[in-house]
Amino acid sequence: MSNATLDRAVKEIADEMMKRTDRGEVASYIPELARIDVNSFGLVVVDTNGHVAAAGDADTPFSIQSISKVFTLTLALGMIGDRLWERVGREPSGSPFNSIVQLERERGIPRNPFINAGAIAVTDAILSGHQPKETLGEILRFLQFLSGDSSITIDDAVAASEQRTGFRNAALANYMKSFGVLTNPVDFTLGVYFHHCAIAMSCRQLALAGRFLAHSGRNPSTGFLVVQPERARRINAIMMTCGHYDGSGEFAYRVGLPGKSGVGGGILAIAPGKASIAVWSPGLDANGNSELGRAALEILSKRLGWSIFGA
């Protein structure tokens, strides 16, 4: 596909999305996120050759929230490998992102690394043997390295806002601690979790950071192998089945690409062998996934024939 074809598709989809009025609701349970303008919209696609097609608010940093869980999972697998799966499962949850009920039924082992409980268990695994500050620094440096952009930072106001109001996450963490699933002090693990969710990135930075997942673990521009091909394939599989909470089936049905959403309204989607895509529109649907982000990806994937399930 020529650069011009991709540029045109991205621009036309962004233009269409910017006109839409059915934008969903901005997350308000983290007070600081409620201040974001629901009319923001950004879309960036980075293809195999490193061509960047960008439109809308492509360079505005937003709170990546749960999209950070893709990168903490990658780090945790790098640190402890398959032992991670003793603490967290790999099955879709079919439950809201912050559900407590399922955790009780399954004796403190979260269903997958992308629901909140699972991501907190993953954060705990990365934290072991380190100070919270070191772990956060490592997560941040990993993202800066992947996107080739050292300006990425944590939005401390968002982290503080969630720390003040994150009672449900505290409940999940304490519950897992009672089963011995968490090994660090709960406050330390939650502190790191809230802060990595509060990392702010633009669509451009995020699409660049996701490139290794689209290209069998390697950044095709630098040739650097971030993870083995098998690991990239498996992370994509978890994104496909669990990346949108109990909207994961619908996302697979409509978009057909591995993806991970965050309540900040971002989605990172991977077209294996083709492109890494980031979209941001802060209005959410009832499952907490970006309403227009999904709509934009649905049109893009259909128009370019990128669904992994066929054209």
Report in angstroms how near the CB of residue 185 gets to ligand GLU at its nearest.
18
Catalytic residue, chosen from 70, 161, 181, 193, is 193
Comparison of 116 and 189: residue with beta carbon closer to ligand GLU: 116
Which entry of 45, 63, 68, 69 is annotated as an active-site residue? 69
Residue 253 known to be catalytic? no
Closest CA to 121 of 130, 112, 129: 112
Instruction: Specify whether the CB–CB gap between 61 and 199 falls below 8 A.
Output: no
- Whether the CB-CB separation of 147 and 206 falls below 8 Å is answered with yes
Instruction: Judge whether 245 counts as a catalytic residue.
Output: yes
Closest contact distance (angstroms) between CB of 77 and ligand GLU is 20
The smaller minimum CB distance to ligand GLU, of residues 171 and 299, is found at 171
133 classed as catalytic: no
To the query of whether residue 175 is one of the catalytic residues in this protein, the response is no
Closer residue to ligand GLU in complex, CB, 57/162: 162
> What does residue 221 show for φ and ψ, rounded to 5 degrees?
-80, -40
| Catalytic residue, candidates 63, 68, 202, 245 | 245
Instruction: Give min distance, CB of 78 to ligand GLU, in A.
Output: 22
Q: Is 203 left (phi over 0), alpha (psi -120 to 50) or beta?
A: alpha
Question: Which of 295, 251, 301, 253 lies closest to 277, judged by CA?
Answer: 301
Q: Is 147 a catalytic residue?
A: no
When the beta carbons of 84 and 173 are compared against ligand GLU, the nearer one is 173
Q: Which residues bind ligand GLU (CB under 6 A)?
A: 65-66, 97-98, 116, 162, 169, 197, 262-263, 288
What b/e string do you get for 200-234 counting C-beta neighbours within 10 Å, with b at 16 or more? bbbbbbbbbbbbbbbbbbbbbeeeeebbeeebbee
Q: How far apart are CA 53 and CA 151, in angstroms?
A: 21
Please give, one letter per residue, the 3-state secondary structure of 149-168: CCCCEECHHHHHHHHHHCHH
For residue 55, the minimal CB distance to ligand GLU (Å) is: 24
Of these residues, 10, 26, 44, 66, which one is catalytic?
Answer: 66
CB distance 260 to 239 below 8 Å: yes
Which residue lies nearer to ligand GLU by CB, 132 or 288? Answer: 288
**Catalytic hit among 10, 263, 281, 301:** 263
Collapsing DSSP states into helix, strand and coil, what is residue 2?
coil
| Cβ 104 to ligand GLU shortest distance, Å | 18
Q: Which are the catalytic amino acids? A: 66, 69, 193, 245, 263
